[in-house]
Amino acid sequence: MVFPSAMAPFSWQARSREHSLTASPNFRQWFRGFTEGSSSERRVTAMTMGTLGVALGVRLLYDARYVQPYRPGLTRIDLVVPPGHEGLANLTIGFVSDTHVCNAFTPDDVARAAALVIEARPDLVVLGGDYVSGSPRYIDGAAEALGRLAEAAPLGAIAVLGNHDHSVGADSVEEALQAQGITVLRNAATAVDWQGSRLWIAGPEDSLLGRPNLPATFAPIPLGAATLALWHEAQFAERTAACGAFAQLSGHSHGGQIRFPFFGALPVALPPHGRRHVMGLNCAAGMPVYTSRGVGVYQPPLRFLCPPEVVFVTLRAGRP
């Protein structure tokens, strides 16, 4: 059948439909059909596929920049207390880390994540550092958002600092948090009493830009006490295990922020001191260490397959 020249565009459509009706789903057959078509057919098909590829890329990039970083989730985990401290069973702890308030992540974004913790009604809140990034002008806004979170926990809030807090001014961040009633640990430990039992929180200084001193951190803690380590980086968790902690909570790595199926985070996307125990529950010298993916974002402000999280910890008694 001969098409008039005015019908030329339709001839391709007709033949293309014929291909689609007769071709098997097998990719090799489709590819053979594609390569055996005329050059104009191949050009149109390539342009169509290219346009679809660009549209998909733009959609994924938009999602990674404007959607995924702002959809935090609540992760629930259990940690087993050491024998002899079963009285701490059912004590609940909200854990928030790496809020990174900056021009791309506002105190309102932090408040939205904090609301998930407040709704879960923890007894205690612990904060894992990196509250701001880039400039000290974000400190007050971050501290106010975290202060409202601290008010919601009957036992208050305890914090350590991260490397970005040191970058913008560790003393200023510490003062702002303390002004909100938050206890800040810098190579120090503190105890909370709950229903007749005592839990110690040990907070070494940031390992990247601070000067961690574990002997000084653990010095006030009685031998055999139930001690939860709170350290911005999970990299050296074996050291807090050696000091007697039964578990550690950390942040810092953000899970890499951008992760790929079957592969995970690119090693180059992980910060120094953030390449071990990258995210989730891991084991360091027999001690559980949980690394939060964090709440905020660092540059580039993208998240892909690595949603922000806040963590709700329930202490449990071990098997008798």
Instruction: For Fe ion, give the closer residue by CB, 132 or 221.
Output: 132
User: Where does residue 16 rank: exposed (0-12), middle (13-18), buried (19+ CB within 10 A)?
Assistant: middle
Residue 98 as a binder of Fe ion (CB under 5 A): the answer is yes
Residue 205 as a binder of Fe ion (CB under 5 A): the answer is no
- Smallest gap from residue 20 Cβ to Fe ion (A): 49
Report in angstroms the alpha-carbon separations of 81 from 84, 87, 216, 294: 8, 9, 23, 24
Residues written for the chain? 320
Which long-range CB contacts under 8 A does 207-212 form with residues at least 24 apart?
207/231, 207/232, 207/233, 207/235, 207/236, 207/273, 208/163, 208/166, 208/233, 208/271, 208/272, 208/273, 209/163, 209/166, 209/167, 210/161, 210/163, 210/166, 210/170, 210/186, 211/187, 212/187, 212/236
Instruction: For Fe ion, give the closer residue by CB, 122 or 296.
Output: 296
- CA 10, distance to chain mean position in Å, is 52
- Smallest gap from residue 267 Cβ to Fe ion (A): 17
Binding region for Fe ion (CB under 5 A) out of 22-30, 97-105, 166-174, 213-221: 97-105
- Smallest gap from residue 30 Cβ to Fe ion (A): 45
Residues 125-144 that bind Fe ion (CB under 5 A): 130
- Smallest gap from residue 183 Cβ to Fe ion (A): 21
Instruction: For Fe ion, give the closer residue by CB, 98 or 174.
Output: 98
Count of residues touching Fe ion (by CB under 5 A): 2
Binding region for Fe ion (CB under 5 A) out of 80-88, 92-100, 185-193, 233-241: 92-100
- Smallest gap from residue 219 Cβ to Fe ion (A): 28
- Smallest gap from residue 76 Cβ to Fe ion (A): 22
CA distance 50 to 108: 39
Encoded tokens for 266? 């690119």
Binding region for Fe ion (CB under 5 A) out of 11-19, 94-102, 202-210, 217-225: 94-102
Whether 137 and 105 have beta carbons less than 8 Å apart is answered as no
Binding region for Fe ion (CB under 5 A) out of 51-59, 91-99, 204-212, 285-293: 91-99
Q: Contact positions toward Fe ion, by CB under 5 A?
A: 98, 130
